[in-house]
Amino acid sequence: MRNKEDFSFSTCWNIKKHRNGRAMLEEIMELGFRNVELNYNVTREHLTTIEPMIENGAIGISSVHHAFPYIDDTDFDTDSPMLGYEDEDKRRRALDLLKQSVEYAVRYGAKAVVVHPGEVPFPDNIDARLKDIYKNQGRNSEAYATLWTTMLEQRQSQAPQNLERIHRSLEEISDFIEQKGYKVAIGIETRARCYQIPTLREAEWLTGRLKGSPVGLWYDIGHAMMMERMGLYENLRDLKELELPLAGVHIHETIGLSDHWCPYVHSGLDDFDVFLDMIHKAPVRVYELKSACLPEEIEQSHNQIMNKLLVLEGQAK
């Protein structure tokens, strides 16, 4: 098994098949990983058998994904306004949940908390409608262009007020971390729906106002590929032009608008090469793959990434 000590692996791969946390992590360890990201579906029941593994050093925790552990409340799930709620009681509740995620991360020795900071609310899931048109008629179709313009106009008009509230929440969690003396990053993640925050430019706006804080970009590569294909931003251009402190990366590939596949293996293409530099620079590197990815495919994908990183590192010397 090719060197995996500098990588972590998310429990999103196998959490749906395990009620027992130890069995879930042991299956990941069989892939050769000794560090994991505990995702937002990890329950307190899972933790009863995971915590002894952490305490005895059998497994390391690279990161936890907010809200952590799992909370059965759609107002605070991963596709919600979360830190940008206009309702102050809900915003405070979201902030309290983030403090809880931070406390767990620190207790487990994790380097980061991955956060979905918020969104521009729409009355329906306009992203799903756009993706359906993209799949059946194409991005260049008139139907897509018309609905995209509608989405973008509302997104651009309402994003500033949502960003202000998200900034306030991130400022408050940063103060909490500083007061506690914790050493943990808050990674604001690039998202999978076009109305969700942040774009890369929104991430720069947020992190630029929080310089010196624990807040950085969590660059989800598969989501970023998806948003570029839909037309929300251009990854290479924006990454080159913007100053973005990097908290970590989620490694997976998007085929069309379907994400969480093994890079290179499932697409059969080298398009993923453009993201190698981000993986190389990232302080935390996490594979975030779907259950359809087989162990042999995961191994093959990792080996290809390692080979390409070795070439990249050789060129940088």
What was the pLDDT predicted at 183? 98
Residue 41 near residue 15 (C-beta atoms within 8 A): yes
Strands 196-197 and 253-255: unpaired
In a domain, 56, yes or no: yes
Report which residue type is found at 70: Y
Q: Is 3 among the domain residues?
A: no
Domain membership of residue 136 (yes or no) is yes
What tens digit of pLDDT does each residue of 126-157 get?
A: 999 999 999 999 999 999 999 999 999 999 99
What is the enclosing helix (H) or strand (E) of 107?
A: helix 88-107
The Cα 98–Cα 102 span in angstroms is 6
Distance CA 143, CA 71 (A): 38
Find the CATH number of the domain harbouring 289: 3.20.20.150
Q: Which two tokens stand for residue 179?
A: 């007061």
Query: Number of folded domains in the chain?
Result: 1
CA–CA separation, 263 vs 287, rounded Å?
A: 10
Per the domain annotation, does 189 fall within a domain?
yes
Give a yes or no: residue 302 inside a domain.
Answer: yes
Round to whole Å and give the CA distance between 317 and 307. Answer: 16
Please report how many Cα atoms fall inside a 13 Å half-sphere around the Cα of residue 317, on the Cβ side.
6
SS3 state at 171: helix
Q: Is residue 16 part of a domain?
A: yes
The answer to whether residue 44 is domain-embedded is yes
pLDDT for the residue 317: 52
Closest CA to 161 of 194, 202, 123: 202
Q: In this predicted model, what pLDDT tens digit does every residue of 181-197 receive, in sequence order?
A: 999 999 999 999 999 99
Residue 2 maps to a domain: no
Reference 17, options 44, 40, 37, 46; nearest CA is 46
**270: containing domain:** 8-316
pTM: 0.96
How far apart are the C-alpha atoms of 287 and 155, rounded to whole Å? 30
Check: CB of residue 235 under 8 Å from CB of residue 226: no
pLDDT of the residue at 1: 56
Please report the pLDDT score of residue 307 as a whole number.
95
Please identify every stretch of the chain with a pLDDT value under 50, giving residue numbers as ranges: none
Tokens of 94: 């979201």
CB 139 within 8 A of CB 231: yes
Half-sphere exposure of 44 (CA within 13 A, CB side): 3
